[in-house]
Amino acid sequence: MAATFTEAPAVVHDPWFRPGERRLAHGHSTCAEPARSATLARTDETAAARFPVLSDAGRLVAWSTFTLSPRLVLSSGLIIIATWSVGIGIVALQPETPLGFGLPGPGPAALARYLDPAFIDIAAWATGVFTACLITGILAVVVHRTHRLVAAQACVERARDNLARHVSANLVDELAELDEPFGPARIQDAAILFADVIGFTSLCEGRSPQAVMAMLRGFHERMADCVFEAGGTLDKFVGDSVMATFGTPKPSRRDATNALTCARKMLACLDAWNTERRAQGEPVLKIGIGLHFGPVVLGTIGHERRVEYAVLGDTVNTASRLEALSRDLQTSLVSSHALIEKVRAEVGEHTVRGMHRHPPVVVRGRMQAMEVWILVEHGCKPRLPLFEAESATTS
């Protein structure tokens, strides 16, 4: 009886072979491809998790951007890259550490070596270093530009704040949009106001420097508020005196009226403050105000390191001398006839009520007598200036 031999299928040893799977030499197992895909996926995961430090380091660099400091961003990135590289170098110098460059070659041995947790891929390290440097540099540039933008915005806000200290709030937005808010040097008509504390030197006697400064601050704050409420420009504080202009840098149709309104506001505000001072046992304050309207010179003066916007001219000097004349005329407000006429032309006669036309007086610095108006207060009788009274007595 002839023996019958059946050829056993050949078993092929495949690196993708898994236990429990048999693969024919001339056939393909349906389980082989899923095993191959799973192994490749495991290879990618191993490569992705090979250097997890960079992802954590990237978060640290990203957090450093909130400081808006390019140097801190660069230093953070470089420190992280250097620390990571030193750690990789220490591990790579170990004799048992497998090294390689790039993806594994063909064959199960190369794949097993690549999948070794201790394996170090030099190409992956170089790619990570380059990526980290690139991201750090980009973030540093972005932070630098953001820092400059924030600094520029801060300068703009600071300029607006400085501008708001000189002009009323309704002009700040309009002037801030101009490259040259005050414009070039020019001549234009404007109303000038000077206000000065009468007897300030005697008020300071026997008082501490802190008390004197507190009194000055309170006076300046209240007078400045009156100027801004009337739409004026606060030109300067000179000791206990205040200079304000109306019609600068931008003229309006009510400059003279606004100046007279501001003077009345100052006197009313001072009366209210004096009531508080009496209740606190503090001495009351008296001020003299001078008003004039006419042409002035507008422009910037000073050194290149410190430029000041100035209002100059005979109109300014006359307003200052009218303020000094208030002591001789025993009134709190002296205005030139030119300003009163301008007020009448702007709004009418009703605004000048309470003002009394005074006989012409000689103002220091002028050759001819000047017509002035004074505020007639309750219980106050206008009289000639002292120097004119003395001249009349001599005659």
Contacts of residue 307, defined as CB under 8 A and 6 or more positions apart, other chains included, come to 300, 301
| 58 confidence band (pLDDT: 50, 70, 90) | low
Give the separation between CA 271 and CA 292, rounded to whole angstroms: 23
Q: Which pLDDT value is given to residue 29?
A: 43
Output the pLDDT for position 112. 76
What integer pLDDT is reported at residue 181 of this predicted model?
Answer: 59
Q: Which residues contact 191 (CB under 8 A, 6 or more apart)?
A: 245, 246, 247, 255, 256, 258, 259, 291, 292, 293, 339, 342
332/319 Cα distance (integer angstroms): 14
Paired tokens of 318: 């006359």
Q: Are 336 and 372 in contact (CB under 8 A)?
A: yes
pLDDT digits (tens, 9 = 90+) for 169-196: 656 665 666 666 566 778 999 999 999 9
**Mean predicted lDDT score pLDDT of the chain:** 78
Q: What is the pLDDT of residues 339-358, one digit of tens each?
A: 999 999 999 888 888 899 99
Yes or no: say if 361 and 384 are a contact pair by the CB < 8 Å rule: yes
Which residues of the chain form beta strands (DSSP E)?
99-100, 120-121, 186-197, 233-238, 241-246, 287-303, 306-312, 333-336, 355-362, 369-375
More confident residue, 205 or 322: 322
The answer to whether residue 19 scores a pLDDT higher than 90 is no
Nearest to 53 by CA among 75, 86, 92: 86
- Reported as a single tens digit per residue, the pLDDT across 225-269 is 999 999 998 888 988 999 999 998 889 999 999 999 999 999 999
**% of the chain with per-residue pLDDT over 70:** 74
For residue 392, pLDDT over 70 is answered with: no
- The owner of tokens 């019609």 is 247
Question: pTM of the full predicted structure?
Answer: 0.60
What pLDDT score was predicted for residue 28?
44
